[in-house]
Structure 1
């Protein structure tokens, strides 16, 4: 097994143009638990010297908050900036550490050194979605259907339109959207046009994720005596069924926005001022959750998108578990 130090040097060499030299750094003034947790090395990177705290092989990954506390203890003991070198770090945790301004390197994934204004992210060869431009619900549906339900490559657009419930005219617009992001290209099959994705599986998911949106348009506390199909379990309720996450006191369900509004107007349920008067939370979705979900629960990727901005770190950890469970 290649050591973290070896992986670090192999990772930094093409980034810096030369193989950096590491020199052991004394850390006798640090608490014992930090000296046992990390191996300290001095290095020159991007014109600046750093003390690197390399996570030992047998160490368990910590939360961003714990890493922040540890680096606050380390930094006063050194004149150079301290950066963590970690074995692994889930994407949600990397994003959180960037927001907290914690310098770190995950060999093969990301280098974040704010003192040197360095933020190098991996996947340089993957196509980049158009910055700031989110996919429409129809385009998002197509991608999620392809990832979770059935591959849509080499199918005529009219067949894809039928599968995901949109008109052929709409699919022509969707085709242009997806081509603009770089995740797919078109191919002619006789007189029909088909899509070819430039990457597949988890790579496709990671590439397209920045331009995907939460399907939740709005939520409402409601009193609904017998929630039933086509309402599907969603939110923290669905996450608790798929992972070790604890459920909310009140369950969450999801409906297509048109069904949500029609049921409300027909008195199938009524809105409440708050959770104290309700018996569930109801989400109105921009696309039909039945497209990818089973008969009881919304699909994993839409569930992830609906909760990815949830502020609780425990939720973020379970969302990472949710994605790891998918048989890509």
Structure 2
């Protein structure tokens, strides 16, 4: 059970949450008229005025956990006699039945990082995060690539970053990176900390803990497998070939390499050849990846071979393999990682 102090919220959390949703940092100031309010209201709330896109609202930051929707409604009715802008109740956490009571009482509210119900502002995002997580059970390929690259590089406990700090600017657009940050946040892997012109983030735990927490929403980067009877010019060792270099597993009879669809299409066009059937004595097995096998640049904390795919993506590509020898080799590879 959360303690009362943990269920409070702050001006900074509200500012970060509004910026995350609307892409614009709102202006927040203490409400000048709050000094003249009755003591029982001052005991219940702190009062801020939030300005966003030229619209204002008065935010009541609750000092204590939610108790009574009718009482909050009564307080808002009193404030409406002296306040023109819409009024928004703010707290750190709400249970589903508490949300229902507030909505039934006509109380607009915000729970930073989770929910916003403000029909007077044209906003009803009660289901925003819930529905997005219900529809999206795994990270998108771009978000996964950003996370995997960052896990391979590692970070320190107090490190903060912008989305653009995590990836090579040539790999993804700013819009894609922004979406990736929102996805990582929606799955509870990162959190906003402070902001100036652009929002700053931090991971909620150390790299190994984030890896373990993210495993249920990570998927194999391999979209499909094709075969070729020629040796491609550019390639990165993948699959069982890569695993054999990191464990006692023997080399597969047909070498495995990785390409993206776009890079493989270019290779096929360059060679003037066509893919072959796996029974037609292929030279290589080609994994078509959903993100680039070359997505990691710069120094990494987890050792990486320049000829092979990164070990975390490799693990994801093989973790559903039913061969016990492969599973033992994956365990061997992962045990060698010093996070």
TM-score by length of 1: 0.56
Secondary structure of the residue aligned to 2:142 is: helix
Match among 246, 250, 266 for residue 250 of structure 2: 246
Whether 2:221 is the aligned partner of 1:210: answer no
CA offsets 1:38-77 (integer angstroms, 9 cap, x no match): xxxxxxxxxxxxxxxxxxxxxxxxxxxxxxxxxxxxxxxx
Secondary structure of the residue aligned to 1:291 is: coil
Partner of 2:269: 265
Secondary structure of the residue aligned to 2:194 is: strand
CA distance in 1, matches of 2:224, 2:242: 17
Partner of 2:334: 323
CA distance in 1, matches of 2:137, 2:278: 34
Secondary structure of the residue aligned to 2:322 is: coil
CA distance in 2, matches of 1:257, 1:151: 31
Question: Per the alignment, do residues 246 and 268 of structure 1 end up closer, same or farther by CA in structure 2, a change over 3 Å counting?
Answer: farther
Secondary structure of the residue aligned to 1:253 is: strand
CA distance in 1, matches of 2:170, 2:328: 31
Asked if 2 retains the 8 angstrom alpha-carbon contact of 1:310 and 1:316, the reply is yes
Partner of 1:232: 236
Match among 181, 185, 200 for residue 179 of structure 1: 185
Partner of 1:299: 310
Match among 163, 182, 188 for residue 157 of structure 1: 163
Q: CA deviation at 1:325?
A: 0.9
Partner of 2:324: 313
Partner of 1:98: none
TM-score by length of 2: 0.54
Whether 2:145 is the aligned partner of 1:134: answer no
CA distance in 2, matches of 1:195, 1:323: 27
CA distance in 2, matches of 1:253, 1:325: 23
Partner of 1:117: none
Aligned length: 198
- Look at both structures and tell me which one has the larger radius of gyration over its CA atoms: 2
**Which fold has the larger relative contact order, with Cα–Cα distance below 8 Å and residues 6 or more apart in sequence?**
2
Q: CA deviation at 1:247?
A: 1.4
Partner of 2:289: 285
Structure 1 residue runs of 5 or longer lacking an equivalent are 1-128
Q: CA deviation at 1:194?
A: 2.2
**What RMSD, in angstroms, separates the aligned Cα atoms of the two structures?**
2.2
Q: CA deviation at 1:224?
A: 1.7
Q: CA deviation at 1:282?
A: 0.6
Match among 187, 191, 202 for residue 196 of structure 1: 202
Secondary structure of the residue aligned to 1:187 is: strand
CA distance in 1, matches of 2:325, 2:166: 37
Secondary structure of the residue aligned to 1:297 is: coil
Question: Per the alignment, do residues 247 and 181 of structure 1 end up closer, same or farther by CA in structure 2, a change over 3 Å counting?
Answer: same
